[in-house]
Amino acid sequence: MLGTDAVPILSRQFEIIAPPEEQFDITDLDTVMTTICKGKFDIVLHMAALTDLDWCEDNPDRARLVNTEGTKNIALACAKAGCRMAYISTSGIFSGRMGRPYTEEDNPKPANVYGMSKHEAEIVIQESIQEENWLILRVGWLYGGGKKDKKFVGKMFQLMMTTSKVMAVADIWGSPNYSVDIGYLLENMFLHKIHGLFHIANTGEPASRYDMALAIRDSAQLPVEIEAVPSSRFPTRAFRPPMEAIKSVRLINTMQYTMRNWRDALDEYIKRLAKINAAD
């Protein structure tokens, strides 16, 4: 989903090599070492991950193998090759008990297998690579990818196109992130050789899935009734932190870079989905 939108943006400034999974298995250390050390890359952008929270909860060993050990393999190879590494982490590494958006100064306390595997990956990167050569972006509630969007926004848009009433959870909050905006930010950061740990989120107040559903309906101008429901209405295997919202404090302080409001970004994306739907 992120790669679909970010790679075309990055291709404007960089020569991109994006091998498919069957050619580049991140859990195979030999393959990772050979590919990265021979590639003479300036930057390795690591976006591969198992992101289905419930699946990860049921398959903790596999989740850790891919999300943690796979990341460790890439970090070790980047350290050996002397190239920079950029890693896409998640806002899901926090417990969600804080009651306010998390900043980079807050200590992670993962509350599920997925969050733990991603947090351990962050630690591995920082222990394996010199500080000036790593970049970690914590993002959350990502949407984008157009036809490849299988997450909440894509599913909700399609549901609204075919039904007159939908339900959306109103007691869990996060920070929506548009993958196109992440792509432009990565381009900027790579060109300016930014390093360190950053929280990345479109600006605006924390949003619930219900808030996002309302915004989707308004952007698509669909006559759909939306019912706000508690998260208990949709039981899940993995615990969902009640507050996953984050603030991009370091992004503003370090780069004077401000992400646009999530409502504006979501509106642009819904209009994009509507065009794709009309074309089909």
Give per-residue pLDDT as tens, 137-153: 999 899 999 988 889 99
Q: What is the pLDDT of residue 147?
A: 84
Interior CA angle at 228 toward 222 and 233, to 5°?
120
- The shares of helix, strand and coil residues in the chain, as percent rounded to the nearest 5, are 50, 15, 35
Residue bearing tokens 């939306």: 226
**Model pTM score:** 0.96
Q: What is the pLDDT of residue 150?
A: 82
- Looking at domain 2-279, its CATH class is alpha beta
Q: What is the pLDDT of residue 268?
A: 98
Q: What is the pLDDT of residue 20?
A: 87
Spans of the chain, pLDDT less than 70: none
Most distant CA pair in the chain: distance in Å? 56
Residue range 81-118, pLDDT digits in tens: 999 999 999 999 999 999 899 999 999 999 999 999 99
Structure token digits, residue 69:
């050990």
Q: What is the pLDDT of residue 50?
A: 96
Q: What is the pLDDT of residue 280?
A: 78
Q: What is the pLDDT of residue 211?
A: 98
Spell out where 8-99 has E strands. 43-46, 84-90
Q: What is the pLDDT of residue 25?
A: 96
Q: What is the pLDDT of residue 31?
A: 95
Distance CA 225, CA 166 (A): 6
